[in-house]
Structure 1
Amino acid sequence: MPELPEVAALADFLDARLRGTVLAKVQIVSFAVLKTADPPLSELEGRTVTGVSRHGKFVDLEAGGLHFVFHLARAGWVRFTETPTGTLLKMGSGHIAVRLSFSSGTGPLGLDLTEAGTKKSLAVYLVRDPSDVPGVAALGPDPFSPGFDVDALAVILAGSSQQIKGVLRSQAIMAGIGNAYSDEILHAAKMSPFAVAGSLDRPAVQRLYDSIHEILGTAVAEARGKPPSELKDAKRSHMRVHGRTGEACPVCGDTVREVSFADTSLQYCPTCQTKGKILADRRTSRFLK
């Protein structure tokens, strides 16, 4: 799933190429992705793109006062082309869910929203204001917003009985961080994913805050300027523990371990994060005594 660094890079990439173009045509290939009915998608056609921005993991393409907002979810992605075919798509054709066609001074441009797999979660909204999208309205503070400092993080964590892994992933608490970067942040902070957020003392909160900005800041810098086709591989290549089960931790050399849940998993280093303790796999731990 794309997270803050990839979504930020994607929004910047699209903004540089689509700002000032005219949205000529919108084709919905899978009606399941469209979550709004008013205004109708036809209202977008003929409007000039005035910018592309990010809200958490949502991409916001603004055209003539309307906002085409999409969330790529777990298996969604985009395909941008400067040589579109102009082909009209049939409903349910392949992995393409939505196709946007643009006209510019240098020729036509195309943007496909795609989704692989059988579990379809990609979501598209056309709204007059981004806050009309429920997921955007519910977002917590962005880690790079001016008001997000260590004191703000301390307030978020204070009194919380949630595990810190869940806090980092909750978009209503903090926007933009998902499963992969929360693993990386906790590894950098030398913190167990099962630590209770409200139990962290001030030095631990400071360490976590610094790790959030170190990991995300580095990832944003590395993703900036890359085309969408390269962002997924760039993300994977810089992970130190996430997706590295069984490999050596690059910091201490211990074996990276995994905890699996019903539909996801986390990775961590026992030496760096849990004082050598191996965390129980949640799929089987209920059977252990």
Structure 2
Amino acid sequence: MPIFEDFEIWVEIEDERLPEHVASFEDLRSSENKVKINCYIASEAGKEFEICVVDNRRGRNNLVFTDVFLDGALMTRRYIEGSGRIGTYIRDSQSQLPFLFQEFNQPISVKQQISTRRTGEIKACVGFLRNAQKTAPRKITPRPIPSHFASNERPEDVSIRHLATLGDPGIGRNYLFHRLAFEVSSLVPLSSDLERVSTVILTNLPTFEFIFLYAPEHLLRSMGIIEPLPPSDPPSPMTSISGDLPEVEEEQQQSMTDDDCTYLDAEESYLYRQLREKIATRRRTAAQRQHATAGSGLNSDGFTSLL
């Protein structure tokens, strides 16, 4: 995702930034006081992912918060100072549920498709705060998994087969998200899931919505979002079949060295040589014809041969 207004947000899998495709901007400051930044990423089923946030503003007069939505469901709000990662839903003081891509192939009714949230979208909304003051850490009470993720009522789309969901709980995860993939010299990011923060949201400043539309890579290619893979070069007729031409000359030379003529008289020896040369010529012609037919790679029915 391109840097916008000194903010940069991206999605990572196993500390590797996912390539972004077809980025676009939609300025809605005059009507809705927000800006949308969209792009596409390729999801990988069974992989955990994290949203990385970097605030490159100088001075940072105002603290910022980041709301994370998975397929339309608000998962968490984090207060970021400098930079940080968001990759879990904190359920209680002992466990967190990582964000996870997973396959979704359950058929559902049309009514459910209308009533449920959209799929294939990771959204990070950045807003501004004033007078944020940290107080004593609050006690974390057990939080239920959002109903959006506890049921199977999310719609199946014909082009998007993955869902962003919650994985198995992680025990003793780093709640303050110290682990960074980039060098920073800022304060430890704050988390509203862990600490009580007194804030005032600045509604006069716009919010920035970084939206990542995701689908499996092969579907993005079929949709024209990612360039298709280049076609592989078809094998040439002479190289499609392993091996070279049969060693007819060698076989012919082998037969010509047999001293069979010693057992024949002059007339029989002459006839024997003529027959041997005729047999060798026909054998070589038949082998060349057979190799040319096999090299075309086609059977009589027109389908490519795999043998």
TM interval, shorter chain, is under 0.3
The structure richer in helix per residue is 1
The structure richer in strand per residue is 2
- Which has the higher relative contact order, 1 or 2, with Cα contacts under 8 A spaced 6 or more apart? 2
Q: TM-score under structure 1 normalisation?
A: 0.21
> In terms of Rg, which structure is larger?
2
Q: TM-score under structure 2 normalisation?
A: 0.21
